Amino acid sequence: MERKLQGKSAVITGAGQGMGKEIAKLFAQHGAKIVLNDLNEDRLKETAAEIKATGGEAIWVKADISRRENVISLIDKARSAYAAVDVLVNNAGVLRSTPFLTIEEQEWDLVMDANVRSVYLCTQAVLPMMMENKRGKIVNISSSAGKSVSTLGGAHYTTSKAAVLGMTRHVAKEMAPYNINVNAVCPGLIDTEMVRSTCGPEQIAYYESSFPIQRLGTAREVADLVLFLASDDSSYITGASIDINGGDLMI
């Protein structure tokens, strides 16, 4: 197997479960040294153990990345372990389904902090290294909600994912002269713990039947797309937002 990330180091947020975990495992299979971040220590340890069991290399850092001091510590630990950060995957996020008129400010701030502020802080923290090295890949996990309206989330979730797309485009434009590619992935309904905890079986079956490709996407399918954007195969792609939604949203 061609190892597309051999010798590279990657920071992956929200790596304790779901898409983040699958991305981390796939990156490790392709030779990357992984820095795992999440708020759940047990899940971090589990992801790290699975990577190491297959011969990969990984460290984990429990941290709330909506706070600047924690992000600085995370990136410092990544630099200490692996000298640089070649790839950043901003995957961490939360979903809330509260109707707009009943969203309280605290919940609005929670969603925006987890889904937008964390992307801003982590991206800002890794860019000086990438600029100095004249290379880097940043992949932001947005959502089809960022281009339309969320299937499961509330207005705050939709707003946050649209904001990630705007940030992706702008940072990509500023960083292109430094050979830094910044792109976004926009998943539709993916079969993850977060989706399963939000939807019952009947609701999932309803959504599946409404999609042109009549099933949920898998975390591995998202990971394959993220790997492409993190590898040299995508060197002429930047500022893009790439859909993976089974045809649910066609623009």
State yes or no: pLDDT of 249 exceeds 90. no
How would residue 1 be classed by pLDDT, with cut points 50, 70 and 90? low
- Cα atoms in the Cβ-side hemisphere of radius 13 Å centred on 92: 32
pLDDT tens for residues 5-14? 999 999 999 9
State yes or no: pLDDT of 37 exceeds 90. yes
Tell me the domain boundaries of the chain: 9-188+222-239
In the chain, what percentage of residues exceed pLDDT 70?
Answer: 100
pLDDT tens for residues 227-238? 999 999 999 999
pLDDT tens for residues 207-226? 889 999 999 999 999 999 99
Residue 77 vs residues 27, 63, 133, 226: alpha-carbon distances, Å: 19, 12, 18, 23
Active-site residues, by number, are 157
Taking all residues of the chain, what is their mean pLDDT, rounded to a whole number?
Answer: 96
Residue 149 vs residues 80, 155, 205, 211, 246: alpha-carbon distances, Å: 41, 8, 20, 15, 16
State both tokens at 54.
Answer: 């297959």
pLDDT at 251: 79
How would residue 173 be classed by pLDDT, with cut points 50, 70 and 90? very high
pLDDT tens for residues 104-126? 999 999 999 999 999 999 999 99
Q: Which helix (H) or strand (E) holds 106?
A: helix 105-112
CATH number assigned to the domain covering 9-188+222-239? 3.40.50.720
